Amino acid sequence: MLSFNIAMRFLRKSPMQSILIAAGIAIGIGVQVFLGSLITSLQTSLVDQTIGHSPQVIVQSATDGQAVRVTPALKQAFAVQSQVTTAVPTRVFSAIYRKGKVSAPLQFTGGDLAQLNTIYDISGRMSAGTARLGSGDVLVGKDFAAKNGLKPGGTLPLVLPSGKAASLTIAGVFDFGSAAANSATAFVDGGYAAGVLGYGADQYSAVDAQVSNVFDSKSVAAQLAADLVPRWCQATAGLEARAGAIAAAVASHSWSGGGTPASLEAAVVQDADRLEALGAVGVARVFATGASFGAQLWHPEDPWAEDRPLDDKAWSLDHFERKLLKLQADMKTRSGRDLANDRQRTMLTYLAALRSELGTES
């Protein structure tokens, strides 16, 4: 009551000052809310720009160059995954653009334009010409077109993987906002790509998919694998009797979706998956993965999260404490533990050097 009486006396004696204080507080709150909304919006935009227009889950053959058959069973496996928003069969090949003394490699993705749009939004990112993939049409990137003086309606002379010469009509030019993509990527009709690769009607290089939450892509991939592996085993001579055990090993291997391995095979697969995240390669993967969805290297004022909760979605360095440094203790096989010990020492050496360079040695 005393504090209330003092506040009321101040309001009556200095009304103008009270109004200014209240206005200042309101403006401060407004700015804070605005900045919070702006940061959230920028994070969403960055994720959309970096991985929002690319496949987040890819199903392809374990053997390089071997086709994937898009069967009803494969389609059903995608259909039952509620987080999969689109699944697009694609045919991919490389060819050489050659005109006179000029030559440059291009990677071609073949498919149905309407389906490709669900991932790449090609039609919405055209800078010239028409978004069209008829027989004999090609869409090329803005940087590639500019460098080689190419325009819609012109021809694109190629040397195909077979060594044969070919020529396509440039229907349009797209701009993906990335010099790398605009310089080395092209799109063609799926039927044309099938002819180049010698594929049948149900054969593709891969099935590219997107998920509703990009951070769940690994768990979605694990679920897909667990569903597809038994079907593959049943269709492969000699593996029919092991289909259940192999599927269980695949289902339990990942950090996010895995559990306790029920067999030696499952333990070996799980350890192998964890070993990929450790050592010098693991250090590189932490920062490369963080950069892909917009995480900063480390918190500028508290890099080791001594007075804040860990957040590896915002600060890549947090991922070591949140996950990687726990993996060694979770290895299930003796060989896995030995290898993990060596790789953990590599990471700890790196972290000690980083502490020294940041001036944060304890």
Closest CA to 297 of 280, 316, 282, 312: 316
pLDDT of residue 30: 44
Convert the pLDDT of each residue in 55-103 to its tens digit.
878 888 767 778 888 888 788 888 888 888 888 999 999 999 999 888 8
Distance CA 170, CA 335 (A): 55
Highest mean pLDDT: which range of 16-20, 214-218, 258-262, 354-358: 354-358
Helix residue ranges per DSSP H, 190-314 = 190-197, 217-234, 243-251, 264-275, 279-292
Convert the pLDDT of each residue in 157-195 to its tens digit.
999 988 899 999 999 999 988 888 899 899 999 999 999
Pair (237, 326) in one structural domain: yes
pLDDT of residue 348: 93
Are 206 and 158 in contact, with CB atoms under 8 Å apart? no
- How would residue 234 be classed by pLDDT, with cut points 50, 70 and 90? low
Convert the pLDDT of each residue in 253-287 to its tens digit.
665 555 677 677 778 878 887 888 888 988 988 88
Return the H-helix or E-strand segment holding 204.
strand 203-204
Pair (109, 196) in one structural domain: yes
- How would residue 53 be classed by pLDDT, with cut points 50, 70 and 90? low
Pair (63, 206) in one structural domain: yes
In the chain, the percentage of residues whose pLDDT exceeds 70 is 76
Final residue belonging to a domain, choices 194, 210, 226: 210
- How would residue 5 be classed by pLDDT, with cut points 50, 70 and 90? low
Number of domains in the chain: 3
Owning domain of residue 91: 57-210
Pair (154, 283) in one structural domain: no
Final residue belonging to a domain, choices 189, 210, 231: 210
pLDDT of residue 56: 77
pLDDT of residue 35: 41
Task: Work out the average pLDDT over 94-118.
Answer: 91
Q: What is the CATH number of the domain that holds 350?
A: 1.10.3210.50
Centroid of chain to Cα 116: 17
pTM above 0.95, yes or no: no
